[in-house]
Amino acid sequence: MAVAKKDQERVTYAWMYGVQARKEDKDRVVPEFWKEHAEAWLQGFDGVPIGAEIKPVAARMEAEADEEAVGEPPEQ
């Protein structure tokens, strides 16, 4: 899903302000200003990295990276 650059910047700032709120021992309540990006603010507050979704490695990629599939490097 494509996100407009300006929206991505707002999400990043919401996340950073959430991190800062946790460091300042503030309550885990999203400020009114960040309600539109509450999820990002809460992720920052909880210490969840931006883009924390782990994408699975394709089975083909695993097979390609397997030691047997890689083999010995050519001699020089």
Q: Tell me how far apart the terminal alpha carbons of the chain are, to the nearest angstrom.
A: 46
pTM: 0.60
Under 8 Å between Cβ of 45 and 18: yes
Q: Is the pLDDT of residue 62 over 70?
A: no
pLDDT, tens digit (0-9, with 9 covering 90-100), for 26-61 = 999 999 988 998 999 899 999 888 875 656 666 666
Top pLDDT among 1 and 52 is at 52
Residue 1: the pLDDT is: 40
Distance of CA 53 to the CA centre of its chain: 6
Rounded average pLDDT over 17-32: 92
Average pLDDT for the chain: 79
Per-residue CA distances from 1 to 4, 8, 43 (Å): 10, 12, 19
